[in-house]
């Protein structure tokens, strides 16, 4: 067996390949964030100690040019992470050392790859959570537009998938929008937990020097540093699973929308019509037009949940301090985020093409759908509810099939088909948009100032 010399020692080549795993590919997602966190760490080193800083101002300025160059190379897909580098951190350090010599050798002072990767992942998560809320808002807005446009179109409300009571398309679409509004709150809760900087915790136990963790946290746009240095690293995996838990809630909402669309676009229902270019064909049946998008969203909701559970299972039995098991959390974390965002984007596009077949909606009503309404009419006339219930139940064949458009007009209380407060959705959407904009601007300003170049989240 032969060994390969790396920055951190000689390693047998088969051991190196096994331990590096897929990091040379996955870590490409972290290049920008490792450059950003390195800039913050170097700025802090420039302040310490005051009389003889570890990194001079001139060195920091040179470093910033190189870090921005690496970011550009990465955006052009030209920055390479080799197996001998082991990971993104060593690849960047090696390039800086090659360009600047002693400066590159100083960069790892007071930090470990443990707090580096934890910080990089939290920076990535901030960006991806902002994007997820943003695309969630796009879907919410598309559903509200669709709901308002069809607010008075009657639709059979169902329980156990069977006809139940008169409802409306407006009620159906805005119900799904409201679910996603709650999901945005879950995403923001995950965002707030993630919004703590682990940089400076080093290998989980701090360093024997009074470094300024508040400074690096502020430079990176975090609300605060994680307090306990051991928890800063113990939280890795835990925070990722919480983030994917919030993503799973989004996917749960998407899966239910997808399932409804699969049912209601069936020819037996024909409630909704999806644009032909969103449908796929069959290799053997010429007549087929399949709503594969919704079937895949339904399946991918389980995929995202499995990513969350994979991370949970990896960290649940890990002892305190860093353990290499955490390397295996990267792929499900990245995959879960990417899947959620792609599903949000494709479903938003689909909803904007969705058409309502009003005639088929109305034809779907029969007299029995109005049985509860008739029961409550008898109550209003003075009969007890149970007597009215039994009377209607025993005389179902005598029920009249009334105009469902008139029936839903009687449902005017809060949240009912004719009692929907559209300003409620506007206010909630605006509140989330405002909060999102604030977080986005703050993050972009902080990173732009640190890098001395424009930085955009979305």
* 106-127 confidence digits (pLDDT tens): 999 999 999 999 999 999 999 9
Question: In the predicted model, what is the mean pLDDT of residues 400-422?
Answer: 96
Digit-coded pLDDT (tens) for 320-343: 999 999 999 999 999 999 999 999
The pLDDT value recorded for residue 80 is: 94
Lowest mean pLDDT among 79-88, 157-166, 297-306, 413-422: 79-88
Digit-coded pLDDT (tens) for 426-452: 999 999 999 999 999 999 999 999 999
Q: Are 122 and 197 in contact (CB under 8 A)?
A: yes
How many percent of the chain have pLDDT more than 70? 100
Alpha-carbon distances, residue 419 vs 152, 288, 299, 409 (angstroms): 11, 40, 35, 9
The pLDDT value recorded for residue 20 is: 87
The pLDDT value recorded for residue 1 is: 55
Question: In the predicted model, what is the mean pLDDT of residues 257-268?
Answer: 97
Digit-coded pLDDT (tens) for 275-320: 999 999 999 999 999 999 999 999 999 999 999 999 999 999 999 9
At 10, the pLDDT band (50, 70, 90 cuts) reads confident
Whole-model pTM: value is 0.95
pLDDT at residue 145 is higher than 90: yes
206: left (phi over 0), alpha (psi -120 to 50) or beta: left
**CB within 8 Å of 257: residues ≥ 6 apart:** 176, 294, 297, 347
How many percent of the chain have pLDDT more than 90? 93
pLDDT at residue 212 is higher than 70: yes
Catalytic residue among 160, 162, 317, 423: 160
Q: Could you tell me the end-to-end alpha-carbon distance of the chain, in angstroms, rounded to an integer?
A: 47
Output phi, psi for 273, to 5 deg.
-125, 125
Which two structure tokens, joined as six digits, stand for 113? Answer: 């790859």
Look up 108 and say whether it is catalytic: no
Q: What residues form DSSP beta bridges with 157? A: 165
At 3, the pLDDT band (50, 70, 90 cuts) reads confident
**CB within 8 Å of 306: residues ≥ 6 apart:** 332
Look up 160 and say whether it is catalytic: yes
215-228: string of b/e by CB count within 10 Å (b at 16+)? bbbbbbbbeebbee
Catalytic residue among 3, 56, 282, 302: 282
pLDDT at residue 360 is higher than 70: yes
The pLDDT value recorded for residue 9 is: 74
Digit-coded pLDDT (tens) for 19-41: 888 889 999 999 999 999 999 99
**CB within 8 Å of 179: residues ≥ 6 apart:** 253, 256
Q: Alpha-carbon distance 140 to 318, whole Å?
A: 39
């Amino acid at each position: 067996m032969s060994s390969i010399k790396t920055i951190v020692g000689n390693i047998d080549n088969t051991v190196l390949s096994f331990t590096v795993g897929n990091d040379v590919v996955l870590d490409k997602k972290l290049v920008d964030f490792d450059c950003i966190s390195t800039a913050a760490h170097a700025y802090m080193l420039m302040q310490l100690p005051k009389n003889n800083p570890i990194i001079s101002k001139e060195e920091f300025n040179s470093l910033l040019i190189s870090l921005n160059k690496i970011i550009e190379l990465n955006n052009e897909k030209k920055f390479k992470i080799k197996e001998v580098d082991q990971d993104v951190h060593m690849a960047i350090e090696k390039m800086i050392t090659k360009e600047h010599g002693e400066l590159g050798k100083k960069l790892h002072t007071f930090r470990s790859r443990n707090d580096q990767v934890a910080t990089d992942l939290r920076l990535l998560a901030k960006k991806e959570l902002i994007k997820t809320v943003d695309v969630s808002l796009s879907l919410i807005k598309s559903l509200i537009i669709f709901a308002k446009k069809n607010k008075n179109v009657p639709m059979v409300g169902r329980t156990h998938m069977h006809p139940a009571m008169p409802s409306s398309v407006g009620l159906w679409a805005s119900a799904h929008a409201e679910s996603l509004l709650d999901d945005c709150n879950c995403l923001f809760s995950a965002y707030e937990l993630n919004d703590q900087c682990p940089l400076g915790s080093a290998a989980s136990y701090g360093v024997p020097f009074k470094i300024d963790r508040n400074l690096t946290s502020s430079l990176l746009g975090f609300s605060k540093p994680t307090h306990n240095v051991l928890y800063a690293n113990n939280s890795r995996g835990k925070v990722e699973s919480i983030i994917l838990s919030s993503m799973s809630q989004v996917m749960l909402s998407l899966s239910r929308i997808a399932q409804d669309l699969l049912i209601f676009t069936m020819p037996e229902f024909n409630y909704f019509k999806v644009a032909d270019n969103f449908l796929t064909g069959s290799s053997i049946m010429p007549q087929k037009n399949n709503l594969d998008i919704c079937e895949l969203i339904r399946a991918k909701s389980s995929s995202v949940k499995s990513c969350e559970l994979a991370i949970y299972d990896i960290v649940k039995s890990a002892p305190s301090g860093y353990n290499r098991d955490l390397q295996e959390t990267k792929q499900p974390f990245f995959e879960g985020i990417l899947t959620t965002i792609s599903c949000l984007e494709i479903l938003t596009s689909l909803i904007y093409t969705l058409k309502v077949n009003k005639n088929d909606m109305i034809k779907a009503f029969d007299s029995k759908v109005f049985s509860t309404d008739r029961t409550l009419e008898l109550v209003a006339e003075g009969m007890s509810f149970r007597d009215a219930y039994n009377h209607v139940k025993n005389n179902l064949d005598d029920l009249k099939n009334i105009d469902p458009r008139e029936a839903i007009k009687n449902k005017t209380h809060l949240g009912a088909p004719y009692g929907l407060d559209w300003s409620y959705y506007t206010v909630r959407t605006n509140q989330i948009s405002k909060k999102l904009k604030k977080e986005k601007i703050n993050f972009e300003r902080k990173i732009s100032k640190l890098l001395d170049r424009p930085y955009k989240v979305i």
